[in-house]
Amino acid sequence: MVSRVIPVDEFDLVIFGGTGDLARRKILPGLFRRFLAGQMTEGSRIVGAARSDLDNAGYRQMIRDAIAEFGGAEKDDAGLDGFIDRLHYVAIDATGEGGWSALSDLVRKDVVKAFYFSVAPSLFGALAERLHTHGIADADSRIVVEKPFGRDLASAKALNDTLATHFSERQIYRIDHYLGKETVQNLMAVRFGNVLFEPLWNSHYVDHIQITVAETVGVGGRGTYYDTSGAMRDMVQNHLMQLLCLIAMEPPSVFGADEVRDEKLKVIRALQPVETHHIVRGQYDATDDAASYRTDVENPRSFTESFVAMKVNISNWRWADTPFYLRTGKKMKGRASEIAVVFKDLGHSIFEGDTARHRNILAIRLQPNEGMDLQVTIKEPGPGGMRLIDVPLDMTFADALGEDSEPATDAYERLIMDVIRGNQTLFMRGDEVEAAWAWTDPIIQGWEARNDVPKLYDQGSAGPEDAMMLMHRDSRRWRDIKS
């Protein structure tokens, strides 16, 4: 089987913040892989734009170095020159007037035009306005914006209003890179492309659903930013809620941008407010050889959470009585992102002496080893009679699909190709983002009003003990995070 790569239309992609960390680590190495795959049509160009005083040659060298450092196994010296030739640079200050006419001269009228705002959100307004006043963007141009999309409902609304001044919603691509992950898209293929799952996808058959995004790293160099954000804003409001929506949504009539996003929005609107005792906040503690969260963020009195676990209920017919348990944290025992759909027990076992609780579990792994497994109950092999054991039917994509699994394909490159194709299905719509903040805001405001102190947890653990209790109280338990 050979993977089919369909070239996208010829484009000019301008990356504001083209010298920044995201551009060098993710966007440009990703575009290079798409170039190597043959997806970038001849003539397509990428323009880096930032304040740094560089010319084309200087920028090309910067990106050569970035690809050497972050490009991974896909580095292909023969292809690299061809890709580097596609790069241009314009020195521009988002808030000033210099450089804009040079950009205007460079960007062509007759190709797909996309403008990636890989800069601080405070610059979005200035960029949007100048793109408009200098006549660089037109009604078909696409604008790509990054998280964080606001830090509460009011700021998200303000950002939406700023962008809406010059661009229509169908031009705006709000990136949540979790939606670009292969497994997340596969979740929809599995759910809606098979007769097997959809009849069981409801509270009659599903006991509960767990969504875990565990990281082993701490705040790294993002301490100052992270301390003003925390796990709830940085992970739950966007990534975990997007995953929850895709699991919980009703089948859209077609796999189209508005159809899918309408269904996701209905899920967010059906989320019940979370009760205080259904949330656990945590902060990682110091060990003998590793600093605490507070030391990492250089804020000895920080009350910001580096971990959160919560029980969420959805008020609709499909999910009444099926809780969703979400957890995410830093410095945990393993790096694992997983959605587990835990089906109900059989009401009765016909096998004598079989008292174990056998459960079918569909586990969708986002990382590591992207894939799915379905836990099923079978007879233990051998002559010992009808003893039952639970085994996973494993479908690791790299094994099942071999070379076609494209393991190195990153979420960013898929999403950027969708921008060029004009497909918004995997991007968040403005009303979705606002609805997500409207649900998250009261939780965060409650913590702030109470000066809520997060529970300390050991680095390398599964989070605070109270997070275990959240499940135990319901006679359930978290799935193990593999170290």
CB of 60 to ligand NAP, least distance (A): 16
DSSP 164-219: HHH--GGGEEE--GGGGSHHHHHHHHHHHH-TTTGGG-STTTEEEEEEEEE-S---
Only one of the segments 13-21, 162-170, 182-190, 201-209 lies at the binding site for ligand NAP (rule: CB under 6 A); that segment is 13-21
CB 462 within 8 A of CB 309: no
CA pair distance 35, 80, nearest whole angstrom: 9
19 labelled ligand-binding: yes
Position 312 contacts ligand NAP (CB under 6 A): no
CB of 119 to ligand NAP, least distance (A): 4
Minimum Å gap between C-beta 72 and ligand NAP is 16
Quick note: the x/- pattern for ligand NAP over 132-151, rule CB under 6 A, is: --------------xxx---
Question: Given the structure tokens 């390398």, which residue do they identify?
Answer: 460
Q: Residue from 95, 101, 253, 315 that binds ligand NAP (CB under 6 A)?
A: 95
Asked if residue 118 binds ligand NAP (CB under 6 A), the reply is yes
Q: How many residues interact with ligand NAP (rule CB under 6 A)?
A: 23
| SS3 state of residue 361 | strand
With binding defined as CB under 6 A, does residue 122 bind ligand NAP?
no
Instruction: Specify whether the CB–CB gap between 297 and 228 falls below 8 A.
Output: no
Is 24 known as a binding-site position? Answer: yes
Is 18 annotated for ligand binding? yes
SS3 79: helix
In degrees and rounded to multiples of 5, residue 360 shows phi and psi of -75, 135
Q: In what order do the strands lie in the sheet with 142-145?
A: 87-91, 45-50, 11-16, 112-117, 142-145, 172-174
Among 12, 13, 19, 417, binds ligand NAP (CB under 6 A): 19
Interface with ligand NAP (CB under 6 A), residue from 3, 5, 21, 399: 21
- Which of 76, 93, 129, 250: binder of ligand NAP (CB under 6 A)? 93
- Is 132 considered catalytic here? no
In the complex, the smallest distance separating the C-beta of residue 233 from ligand NAP, rounded to whole angstroms, is 12
> Cα 153 from chain centroid?
20
User: What is the C-alpha separation between 212 and 195, in angstroms, rounded?
Assistant: 27
Flag whether 370 is marked binding. Answer: no
Instruction: Give the nearer residue to ligand NAP in terms of CB position, either 121 or 180.
Output: 121
Q: Which residue's C-beta sits nearest to ligand NAP? A: 20
With both helix axes pointing from N to C terminus, report the angle between 182-193 and 241-248 in degrees, rounded to the nearest 10: 10
Burial group, residue 63, by CB count within 10 angstroms (0-12, 13-18, 19+): buried
* Catalytic residue from among 239, 277, 348, 472: 239
Tell me which residue of 373, 380, 325 sits closest to 351, measured CA to CA. Answer: 380
Is 177 known to sit in a ligand binding site?
A: yes
Q: Does 51 contact ligand NAP by CB under 6 A? A: yes
* Active centre residues (catalytic): 239
Question: From the annotation, which residues make up the binding site for NADP(+)?
Answer: 17-24, 51, 147
**Site for ligand NAP, rule CB under 6 A:** 16-23, 50-52, 92-95, 118-121, 123, 146-148
